Structure 1
Amino acid sequence: MNRIEKVMRGVKENNEKAFIPYIMAGDGGLHALPQQITFLEKAGVTAIEIGIPFSDPVADGPVIQAAGIRSLEEGTTLKSVIQTIATVRPIVHIPLIIMTYMNPIIAYGIENFIEDSYNAGIDGLILPDLPVEEEELIAPLTEKYGIEIIRLVTLTSPLDRIREISSKGKGFVYAVTVNGTTGVRQEFDNQVGEYLKRIKSVSTLPVFAGFGISTPLHVEEMTQHCDGVIVGSQIVEFFSKNELSSIEGLIRAAK
């Protein structure tokens, strides 16, 4: 059983709320990545989403874009991130999920990428620019190696499409809670709660809310309507300022 599926079952059976932080690999140097991963596991996160720096990150807001630029300036590559994850995987037990775009994967070689990811102990992929209709580019290989594709739904996704997306895989549905890119926000549209409930009404998978969640209050509010949250820009910012206690405060809000 894939680690993601196993953890999701545990969250459901124990009636828990999940917390998945996003970190930008190589921000501060790749040597920092194992330290960040082990810190987050010890702090009690459910899984970790590891971003790959890319020159055209269409889903990313200014904080993550800036982190990606810093990482690229450090010489970070997709291959070097996978190699670094492989070094820490033996001591980390929670799921590790890569978030990237298709261009770096195609440049790497799709089959080589999936095989290397499997050997490094990567459990899932988030690919914002890969629509369901084009998954055949990669899905046969992810299924072969037992790597989960985590699919996104948005505020504008019709119910039939949400139902189709949530019927695939054994991980979770990533519910984007804003129209636009990632980034810290002060408040959300008052329809977000109904949107999350609507997804849960048709989804066979756990539903996690992401994009814009940046405070303990946001975490508490979102987890009233779904199974967990994904927090990116605020985690990246806290790590860049070494504000580790603030990260722990966000994680505690999901408990």
Structure 2
Amino acid sequence: MADGAPSRIASRFASLRAEGRGALITFVEAFDPDRATSEALLAGMPGAGADLVEIGVPFTDPMADGPTVQRAGQRGLKAGATLAGTLEMVRGFRAKDNATPVVLMGYYNPIYSYGPERFAKDAAEAGVDGLIVVDLPPEEADELTVHTAPQRLELIRLVAPTTDEKRLPVVLSGSGGFVYYVSITGITGTRSATEEHLAEAIPRIRRATDLPIAIGFGVRTPEQAAAAARIADAAVVASALLDTLAGDLDEAGRARPGTVEKVLEQVRALASGVRGARRQAA
């Protein structure tokens, strides 16, 4: 993107605001259960209704992930996933789609091993727009942001229900893209927040930032995605899609001929819920 031009993330949220609707952010784990399947899912998600896509970078010690995402990461690692391979996936995606924002989600160790400066340059060149680094606290983020900021890679912060008023400005300092609200305490994919809880939590975050707010961790159904899109600016769905993928693998852990389409059909249903959310509320 040209210097000074809006980022893909900012442009996408601006266009969705103009349409009067929220965003659907979907998730694919790199190389799960193999590179070709994850590439096909990534390529198909925008056409199925995903507005932004997160790509999980498999890691051997995923402390914030629930069982579903852990198993997806294990399958990806078994298939040979690396950070460099994940960037190659993004590069291939960008050859056909230069508009859909792509966010990498993972842990700092692979970035540190790769080399933060080299990673920032390679990620930007591949077409990555944002990063969610689960285990990198704001107090230690400078060692990464000193390299990502010049490359216009946006560091997306996680805000939890336990993030109090004193901590919130610290967490949001230097953040970009959107704010990822972790709607439950604990690990991913285990339970869901109530709509009442979200209606209380999101205004508190809005008072602290102008960035769009996405709700994740526990959003599984079209109805839950619609509720998140009504209350915030985006719904993030990960574990539910990974469960569908895992449930359609054969006895050897391989994707079946219709596996990709089954997951994409689920994306279409989620997208329909998100697109209708604010019309229903009106």
Do they fold alike, i.e. is TM over 0.5?
yes
CA contact 1:30–1:81 (8 Å) conserved in 2:
no
**Residue 19 (structure 1) aligned with residue 24 (structure 2):** yes
Q: For 2:230, what is the secondary structure of its paired residue?
A: coil
Change over 3 Å in CA distance of 1:30–1:221 after alignment to 2: same
User: Which region of structure 1 is more displaced relative to structure 2, 106-115 or 7-16?
Assistant: 7-16
1:97-112 matched pairs, under 5 angstroms: 97-112=103-118
CA contact 2:184–2:192 (8 Å) conserved in 1:
no
Residue 250 (structure 1) aligned to one of 270, 277, 282: 270
Q: For 1:82, what is the secondary structure of its paired residue?
A: helix
| Counterpart code for 1:86 | R
CA contact 2:192–2:217 (8 Å) conserved in 1:
no
**Equivalence for 2:100:** 94
Unpaired stretches in structure 1, ≥5 consecutive residues: none
Deviations 1:17-70 (A, max 9, x none): 011011111112111222111210101211100001111101110001011111
State the alpha-carbon separation in 2 of the partners of residues 213 and 5 from structure 1: 23
**Equivalence for 1:77:** 82
| Counterpart code for 2:30 | A
Change over 3 Å in CA distance of 1:43–1:28 after alignment to 2: same
Please report the TM-score for the alignment, with normalisation by the length of structure 1.
Answer: 0.94
**Equivalence for 1:138:** 144
| Counterpart code for 2:271 | I
| Counterpart code for 1:155 | P
Matched length: 255
Deviations 1:162-184 (A, max 9, x none): 24444534411000000001014
**Equivalence for 2:252:** none
Please report the TM-score for the alignment, with normalisation by the length of structure 2.
Answer: 0.85
CA contact 1:193–1:222 (8 Å) conserved in 2:
no
Q: For 2:55, what is the secondary structure of its paired residue?
A: strand
Residue 242 (structure 2) aligned to one of 209, 224, 236: 236
CA contact 2:22–2:230 (8 Å) conserved in 1:
no
**Equivalence for 2:194:** 188
Change over 3 Å in CA distance of 1:14–1:189 after alignment to 2: closer
**Offset, 1:95:** 0.6
**Equivalence for 1:10:** 15
CA contact 1:63–1:183 (8 Å) conserved in 2:
yes
**Equivalence for 1:40:** 45
State the alpha-carbon separation in 1 of the partners of residues 178 and 167 from structure 2: 15
State the alpha-carbon separation in 1 of the partners of residues 274 and 65 from structure 2: 24
CA contact 1:207–1:228 (8 Å) conserved in 2:
yes
CA contact 1:47–1:95 (8 Å) conserved in 2:
yes
Identity of aligned pairs, percent? Answer: 32
State the alpha-carbon separation in 2 of the partners of residues 49 and 135 from structure 1: 20
**Offset, 1:87:** 1.7
**Offset, 1:197:** 2.3
CA contact 2:183–2:192 (8 Å) conserved in 1:
no
State the alpha-carbon separation in 2 of the partners of residues 169 and 28 from structure 1: 32
Q: For 1:202, what is the secondary structure of its paired residue?
A: coil
Q: Which runs of 4+ in 1 moved over 4 A?
A: none
State the alpha-carbon separation in 1 of the partners of residues 141 and 58 from structure 2: 22
State the alpha-carbon separation in 2 of the partners of residues 89 and 97 from structure 1: 13
Change over 3 Å in CA distance of 1:179–1:169 after alignment to 2: closer
Q: For 2:95, what is the secondary structure of its paired residue?
A: helix
